[in-house]
C-alpha cells in the first residue's frame, strides 16, 4: 500500500453515495490519490455497510461489500438534516473540488445540496450525479437499481435466454463513466476556472456500450433485427464459449491470420475449412448464416480431447486466443492476476490482514494503489472538523453530545488496534 503519490493528490471529493455505483466511482478516485470524504448517516452509515457478507470480529461488525468499496476513504457521520450539520457540509462544499451523489433524483435538492445550491457556495465545484435514468426524461424521477438499468437499456434482451449480468454492470459501467467525466471536467476547470454539473444515467451508459448487434440495427435503418447472444456469438466466428469433454473453453479468432493458425492446429482432417466457401474469408465467417456452422465444427473437434485444458494448451501454444472457463476461486489465484497485483493484502482494523482487489491503474509515475483501510463509521468525524474546518475540541465535543456528528464506539479502540496491526 502507498508506495508512490497518486495523480489526484490534493483533490478533495465529497462523497454522498451509497451501495455500488457511487462508491465504486469514488474508489477509483481515492485509489488515484484523491481525498474522499464519505458523508454517512449517524449510527447506521451508508447502506453498503449492511450488505453481505457481514462478519463480527472483536465486537465490531464489518461488511465485505463495504470493505472492498470504501478502502482509503474518510468517514464523516453527520446529521445533514440538522441545521448545524447542514452548515458543516456547506463549509466542506466550499473547500472541496468534487461532489458526487447517486441518490434518487431530487433527493439532494430536498436536502439543500443540489447543483444550484452547491454552485452558489462554490462556483468551481464539479458536481456529478449517477441515477438509473438520469435527471431528465420520462423516467427521471423513478428509482432504480442496476438490474432495472440492464433491462431498460436492452442489455438483458441481448442474451439468450435473457438474463442479468453476473456483476453489477450498470453500476460499475456508470461509475467508470463518472470518473472519466469528472476528470474531463477538472481539466476544463483548470483551463477556464468554470465548474459544471455532470448528469449520468446508468441506462444511458449501458445503452452507449452496445457493441455489434444494435449498431447494425440502426445502420440498416432498423431492418436487420438484433439476434440475442448466448454462449456463442450469432454472427462472429469463431467467437464463443464452446463445449469440451470436461468443461467449457472460450475461443476468439477474428482475423484471417488467426483462422489459418486455428485450422492448422486442428489438423489435416480440418484443412478443408481454409478453402470452403463458408469459411475461407473473414467476411463470410462473420455472418449469421455461417457462424453457427463454424462453432459446431469447433465443438466436434474439441470433443476429441480429454481434459479441455489440453485444447487450451494446444491453441495458446499456436498463438490463438483461448481460455478455459474458470470460476472466481481459481481466477483469484491465477498467476496472470496475482503477478499484476490485482489481489493484494490490506490491514483492516479488527479484521487483520485480508486480501482485496488491487488497482488496475498501472501508471509509471502515479499508479493506482490501495491507500488505506476502510474507515469505521465516523472514524474521521473529529479530524475532518478540526483539520479541515478548524473547529475547536470544545465545539466538536458539543456536536458529538448533541448527536449532530457521530462515530461508532470501536473508534475509541482504533489507535491501539492500528498499532497492533502495524507491529508498533
The DSSP symbol for 49 reads: G
Neighbour-count burial for 63-95, b at 16+ CB within 10 Å, e otherwise: bbbbbbbbbbbbbbbbbbebeebbebbbbbbee
Residues of the chain with CATH 3.40.50.10540: 12-208+338-421
H-type alpha helices, 18-158 = 21-31, 64-69, 83-94, 107-110, 115-121, 146-152
| SS3 state at 248 | strand
Domain 12-208+338-421 CATH assignment equals 3.40.50.10540: yes
Can you tell me the distance from the alpha carbon of 216 to that of 218, in angstroms, rounded to the nearest whole number? 5
Q: Which helix (H) or strand (E) holds 243?
A: strand 239-243
- Retrieve residue 34's grid coordinates: 484523491
The answer to whether residue 229 scores a pLDDT higher than 90 is no
Q: How does pLDDT run across 261-272, given as a tens digit for each residue?
A: 999 999 999 999
Complete DSSP assignment for 274-340: GTSTTTSSHHHHSSTTTHHHHHHHHHHHHTTSSSHHHHHHHHHHTT--EEE---HHHHTT-HHHHTT
Q: In the structure, what pLDDT confidence band is assigned to residue 24 with cuts at 50, 70 and 90?
A: very high
- Do residues 35 and 11 make contact, with C-beta atoms less than 8 angstroms apart? yes
Alpha carbon of 307 to those of 244, 298, 321: distances in Å?
A: 8, 15, 18
Mean pLDDT calculated for residue range 412-422: 95
Q: How far apart are the first and last CA of the chain?
A: 17
Can you tell me the distance from the alpha carbon of 25 to that of 19, in angstroms, rounded to the nearest whole number? 11
Q: Which helix (H) or strand (E) holds 406?
A: strand 405-406
Q: Which helix (H) or strand (E) holds 314?
A: helix 308-317
Q: How does pLDDT run across 311-358, given as a tens digit for each residue?
A: 999 999 999 999 999 999 999 999 999 999 999 999 999 999 999 999
Q: Give the pairing of strands 98-101 and 126-131.
A: parallel
What is the reported pLDDT for 284? 96
- Do residues 211 and 201 make contact, with C-beta atoms less than 8 angstroms apart? no
What is the reported pLDDT for 60? 96
Task: Among 91-95, 207-211, 310-314, name the one with the lowest average pLDDT.
Answer: 207-211
- Retrieve residue 109's grid coordinates: 435538492
What is the reported pLDDT for 1? 57
Can you tell me the distance from the alpha carbon of 39 to that of 14, in angstroms, rounded to the nearest whole number? 7
HSE-CB at 352 with a 13 A cutoff on CA atoms is 4
What is the reported pLDDT for 228? 84
Beta bridge mates, 10? none
| SS3 state at 252 | strand
Alpha carbon of 132 to those of 165, 201, 202: distances in Å?
A: 16, 5, 5
Radius of gyration of the chain (CA): 26
What is the reported pLDDT for 223? 85
Complete DSSP assignment for 344-400: EEEEETTTEEEEEE--S---SSS-----SPPPPTTTTHHHHHHHTT---HHHHHHHH
The answer to whether residue 30 scores a pLDDT higher than 60 is yes
What is the reported pLDDT for 54? 95
CA dihedral 146, 149, 155, 161 (to 10 degrees): 70
Q: In the structure, what pLDDT confidence band is assigned to residue 227 with cuts at 50, 70 and 90?
A: confident
What is the reported pLDDT for 2? 65
The DSSP symbol for 419 reads: H
Task: Among 228-237, 282-291, 404-413, name the one with the lowest average pLDDT.
Answer: 228-237
CA 379, 385, 388: angle at the middle one, nearest 5?
110
Bond before 53 cis per omega within 30 degrees: yes
Alpha carbon of 154 to those of 22, 162, 214, 236: distances in Å?
A: 22, 10, 9, 20
Q: How does pLDDT run across 389-401, given as a tens digit for each residue?
A: 999 999 999 999 9
The answer to whether residue 226 scores a pLDDT higher than 90 is no
The answer to whether residue 125 scores a pLDDT higher than 60 is yes
What is the reported pLDDT for 211? 86
Closest Cα to residue 210, out of 195, 229, 196?
229
- Do residues 356 and 370 make contact, with C-beta atoms less than 8 angstroms apart? yes
Q: Could you tell me if residue 19 is left (phi over 0), alpha (psi between -120 and 50 degrees) or otherwise beta?
A: left
- Do residues 217 and 274 make contact, with C-beta atoms less than 8 angstroms apart? no
| SS3 state at 128 | strand
Can you tell me the distance from the alpha carbon of 290 to that of 286, in angstroms, rounded to the nearest whole number? 7
Amino acid at each position: 500500500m502507498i508506495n508512490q503519490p497518486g495523480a489526484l493528490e490534493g483533490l478533495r471529493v465529497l462523497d454522498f453515495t451509497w451501495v455500488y455505483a457511487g462508491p465504486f466511482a469514488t474508489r477509483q478516485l481515492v485509489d488515484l490519490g484523491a481525498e474522499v470524504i464519505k458523508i454517512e448517516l449517524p449510527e447506521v452509515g451508508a447502506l453498503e455497510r449492511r450488505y453481505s457478507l457481514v462478519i463480527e470480529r472483536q465486537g465490531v461488525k464489518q461488511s465485505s461489500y463495504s470493505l472492498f468499496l470504501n478502502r482509503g476513504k474518510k468517514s464523516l457521520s453527520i446529521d445533514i438534516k440538522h441545521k448545524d450539520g447542514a452548515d458543516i457540509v456547506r463549509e466542506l462544499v466550499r473547500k472541496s473540488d468534487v461532489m458526487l451523489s447517486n441518490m434518487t433524483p431530487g433527493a439532494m435538492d430536498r436536502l439543500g445540496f443540489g447543483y444550484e445550491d452547491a454552485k452558489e457556495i462554490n462556483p468551481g465545484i464539479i458536481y456529478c450525479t449517477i441515477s438509473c435514468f438520469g435527471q431528465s426524461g420520462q423516467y427521471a424521477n423513478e428509482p432504480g437499481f442496476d438490474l432495472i438499468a440492464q433491462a431498460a437499456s436492452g442489455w438483458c434482451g441481448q442474451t439468450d435466454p435473457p438474463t442479468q449480468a453476473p456483476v453489477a454492470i450498470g453500476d460499475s459501467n456508470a461509475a467508470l463513466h463518472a470518473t472519466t467525466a469528472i476528470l474531463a471536467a477538472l481539466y476544463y476547470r483548470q483551463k477556464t476556472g468554470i465548474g459544471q454539473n455532470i448528469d449520468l444515467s446508468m441506462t444511458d451508459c449501458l445503452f452507449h456500450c452496445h457493441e455489434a448487434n444494435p449498431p447494425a440495427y440502426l445502420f440498416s435503418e432498423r431492418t436487420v433485427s438484433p439476434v440475442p447472444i448466448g454462449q456463442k456469438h450469432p454472427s462472429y466466428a469463431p467467437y464463443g464459449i464452446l463445449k469440451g469433454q470436461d468443461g467449457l473453453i472460450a475461443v476468439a479468432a477474428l482475423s484471417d491470420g488467426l483462422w489459418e493458425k486455428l485450422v492448422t492446429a486442428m489438423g489435416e482432417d480440418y484443412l478443408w475449412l481454409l478453402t470452403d466457401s463458408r469459411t475461407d474469408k473473414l467476411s463470410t465467417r462473420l455472418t449469421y448464416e455461417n457462424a453457427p456452422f463454424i462453432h459446431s465444427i469447433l465443438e466436434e473437434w474439441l470433443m476429441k480431447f480429454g481434459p479441455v485444458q489440453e485444447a487450451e494448451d494446444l491453441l495458446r501454444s499456436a498463438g490463438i486466443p483461448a481460455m478455459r472457463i474458470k470460476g472466481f476461486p481459481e481466477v483469484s489465484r491465477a498467476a496472470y492476476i496475482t503477478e499484476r497485483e490485482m489481489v493484494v493484502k490490506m490491514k483492516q482494523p479488527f479484521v487483520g490482514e485480508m486480501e482485496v482487489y488491487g488497482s488496475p491503474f498501472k501508471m509509471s509515475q502515479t499508479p493506482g494503489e490501495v491507500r488505506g483501510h476502510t474507515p469505521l463509521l465516523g472514524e474521521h468525524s473529529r479530524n475532518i472538523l478540526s483539520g479541515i474546518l478548524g473547529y475547536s475540541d470544545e465545539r466538536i465535543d458539543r456536536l458529538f453530545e448533541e448527536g449532530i456528528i457521530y462515530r461508532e464506539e470501536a473508534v475509541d479502540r482504533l489507535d491501539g488496534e492500528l498499532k497492533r496491526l502495524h507491529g508498533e
